[in-house]
């Protein structure tokens, strides 16, 4: 019913017109009269469309009441839906329900697990989420909570992400592996076995420092490689006594082999021999003291009691022997020799010899007594010998020394008149002919008899002669027994070593000539003494000659003065 009052006639007429537009009302309305006395007239007034009404006359002067009937758009009338069905409603563009139907609702829910499945009737059954091994569940306030037990037991855990826990344990403490935030504990023996498992292969890396505490560290690998430059043993030892015995032990069924520190004496002791490779030596303070064949030059003192058989012994000081010398002796001997000398002596022997000298003596100078010379194969010169017993001298007979070039052993005296003879009663040593490289007489040297004069002549070098030593390109020692004056051409940078065959009081000159290259240098060994202790520098020019004058003051002291820069005359 549309309520329209008289006081609203004009306004209601406009509303009516709008209503006609909205509800498709069929209106016949005509406006008549003047302003203030307007009237409306209509033939009918009704509503059609989705809502209808009967026709009603209306002039705008009274109330209008319309009975509106909605058009039937859906014949499905009733209640739709149940516990197993839901309503399906169709609505048009005007919001009118044009159709209603129902659709069945599924009540069965299939639930599947890791193994097996189950159908749940949602209308009659409940879905229960039950706990299990290591899991507990609870439901409250429309929420199901699944909790992992504090203590869980699983046989295998596979995780692709990070598993966080305060501790991981494979069993009880003391019998299983337990991993905490900073500790791994386990049974009395723990094995780390990288792949392949069980075949002693793979690698375990410790990315950081490794500190092992215990009483023993056993390594059963075949090769140990350490990049550190220093390996410390007995770390933290308070003193040497605490470090005593620290070192290396090689385990052997034949007895351990050790190289260990010894607090007593501050030594490293070895239970075995030390075998250096060929070409290696022992050093002290980086100075060689012993090689496979030579004592170092820095070793100047020794308490050796036996050195076996020496191939060569060079001595610059005093040599003392209580058992004698057996073998060849090269060099000068100054002082007394007590004992037997067996072998060749090359060089000068100055002093007394008590005992036998067996072997060749090229020169015997100032020998006060030679009691017996047995099986001497060669005696080139015997000078100033006070007494030489060569045969039985119980009666004053003429005795003949033995001279031979090839015979060995004891030789019978020679009775040839041209041989050297000695008469004990007269004290004369007589030779019909004498030729010698050296002859020394303490008082008188006589040629011929007392009544017959003869000539004295010299064959070879004399005091005025010069011994030419040839070209010298390497260090050498001149033999002063060859003469007094010497010359040589220097062809390299060399050292003039201590001479051999030195006689105290000997003097002479040495000529040194530069070769065609020149600038050769000459150094001197210890016997050569110069003024102010400074050795001269020889003239460097090619072909120039420097001259050294010398005087033998003692067997190991040669007073030397240089005459330099002597060249060929213009």
Pull the structure tokens for residue 445: 């040297």
pLDDT bracket for residue 383 (50, 70, 90): very low
For residues 45 and 25, is the Cβ–Cβ distance under 8 A? yes
Which residue would you say has higher pLDDT here, 367 or 311?
311
CA nearest 504: which of 548, 462, 558? Answer: 558
User: Does residue 321 surpass a pLDDT of 80?
Assistant: no
The pLDDT of residue 426 is 63
> What are the beta bridge partners of residue 108?
121
Considering Cα of 195, then 200, then 202, then 203, what sign does the dihedral take? positive
Of 139 and 153, the one with more pLDDT:
139
Q: What percent of the chain has pLDDT over 70?
A: 64
Of the candidate ranges 64-78, 152-166, 364-378, 454-468, the one whose mean pLDDT is the lowest: 364-378
Model pLDDT, residue 414: 52
According to DSSP, the residues that pair with 486 across neighbouring strands are 467, 510
Give the separation between CA 118 and CA 135, rounded to whole angstroms: 21
Give residue 455's pLDDT band: very low, low, confident or very high (50, 70, 90): very low
Question: pLDDT at residue 393 above 60?
Answer: no
What is the distance between the alpha carbons of residues 307 and 293, in angstroms, rounded to a whole number? Answer: 12
Instruction: Supply the mean pLDDT for the chain.
Output: 76
- Model confidence at 483: pLDDT above 80: yes
pLDDT band at 24; cut points 50, 70, 90: very low
Q: Residue 147 gets which letter from DSSP?
A: E
Q: For position 156, what pLDDT does the model report? A: 81
**Ranked by mean pLDDT, which of 76-90, 356-370, 374-388, 544-558 comes out on top?**
544-558
- 3 state SS of 71: coil
Give the model's confidence band at 547: pLDDT under 50 very low, under 70 low, under 90 confident, else very high: very high
Q: Count CB-CB contacts under 10 A for residue 483.
A: 21
Question: Rounded to whole angstroms, how far apart are CA atoms 45 and 26?
Answer: 6
Burial of 340-362, coded b for 16+ CB within 10 Å and e otherwise, reads bbbeebebbbbeebeeebbbebe
Using a pLDDT cut of 90, give the percent of the chain over it.
28
Choose from 133-147, 299-313, 365-379 the range with maximum mean pLDDT: 133-147
Give the separation between CA 475 and CA 206, rounded to whole angstroms.
63
440, 365 Cβ separation under 8 angstroms: yes
- What is the reported pTM? 0.34
């Amino acid at each position: 019913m549309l309520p329209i009052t008289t006081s609203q006639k004009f306004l209601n007429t406009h509303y009516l017109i709008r209503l006609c537009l909205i509800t498709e009302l069929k209106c016949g309305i005509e406006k008549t009269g003047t302003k203030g006395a307007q009237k409306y007239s209509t033939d009918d007034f009704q509503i059609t469309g989705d809502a209808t009404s009967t026709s009603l006359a209306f002039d705008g002067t009274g109330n209008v009441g319309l009975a509106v009937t909605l058009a039937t758009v859906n014949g499905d009338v009733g209640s739709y839906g149940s516990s197993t069905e839901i309503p399906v409603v169709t609505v048009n563009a005007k919001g009118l329900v044009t159709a209603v139907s129902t659709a069945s609702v599924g009540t069965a829910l299939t639930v599947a697990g890791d193994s097996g499945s189950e159908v749940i009737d949602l209308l009659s059954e409940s879905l229960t989420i039950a706990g299990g091994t290591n899991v507990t569940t609870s439901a409250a306030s429309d929420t199901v909570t699944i909790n992992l037990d504090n203590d869980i037991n699983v046989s295998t855990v596979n995780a692709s992400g990070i598993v966080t826990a305060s501790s991981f344990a494979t069993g009880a403490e003391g019998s299983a592996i337990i991993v905490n935030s900073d500790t791994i504990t386990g049974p009395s023996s723990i094995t780390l076995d990288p792949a392949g498992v069980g075949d002693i292969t793979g690698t375990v890396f410790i990315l950081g420092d490794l500190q092992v505490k215990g009483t023993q560290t056993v390594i059963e690998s075949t090769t140990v490689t350490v990049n550190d430059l220093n390996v410390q043993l007995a770390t933290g030892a308070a003193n040497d006594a605490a470090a005593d015995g620290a070192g290396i032990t090689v385990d052997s069924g034949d007895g351990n082999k050790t190289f260990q520190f010894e607090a007593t004496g501050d030594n490293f002791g070895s239970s075995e021999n030390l075998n250096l490779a060929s070409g290696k030596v022992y050093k002290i303070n980086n100075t060689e003291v012993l090689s496979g064949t030579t004592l170092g030059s820095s070793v100047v003192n020794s308490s050796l009691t036996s050195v076996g058989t020496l191939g060569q012994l060079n001595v610059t000081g005093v040599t003392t022997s209580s058992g004698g010398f057996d073998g060849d002796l090269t060099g000068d001997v100054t002082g007394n020799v007590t004992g037997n000398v067996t072998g060749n002596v090359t060089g000068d022997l100055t002093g007394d010899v008590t005992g036998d000298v067996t072997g060749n003596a090229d020169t015997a100078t100032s020998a006060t007594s030679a009691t017996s010379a047995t099986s001497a194969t060669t005696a080139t010169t015997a000078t100033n010998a006070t007494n030489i017993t060569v045969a039985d001298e119980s009666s004053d007979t003429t005795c003949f020394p033995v001279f031979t070039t090839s015979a060995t052993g004891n030789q019978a005296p020679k009775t040839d008149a041209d041989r050297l003879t000695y008469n004990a009663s007269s004290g004369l040593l007589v030779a019909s002919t004498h030729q010698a490289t050296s002859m020394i007489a303490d008082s008188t040297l006589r040629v011929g008899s007392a009544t017959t004069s003869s000539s004295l002549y010299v064959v070879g070098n004399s005091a005025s002669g010069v011994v030419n030593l040839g070209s010298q390109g390497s260090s050498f020692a001149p033999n002063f027994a060859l003469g007094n004056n010497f010359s040589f051409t220097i062809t390299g940078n060399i050292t003039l070593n201590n001479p051999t065959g030195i006689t105290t009081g000997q003097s002479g000159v040495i000529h040194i000539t530069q070769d065609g290259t020149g600038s050769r240098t000459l150094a001197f060994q210890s016997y050569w003494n110069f003024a102010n202790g400074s050795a001269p520098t020889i003239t460097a020019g090619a072909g120039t000659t420097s001259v050294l004058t010398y005087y033998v003051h003692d067997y190991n002291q040669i007073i030397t003065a240089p005459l330099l820069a002597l060249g060929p005359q213009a």
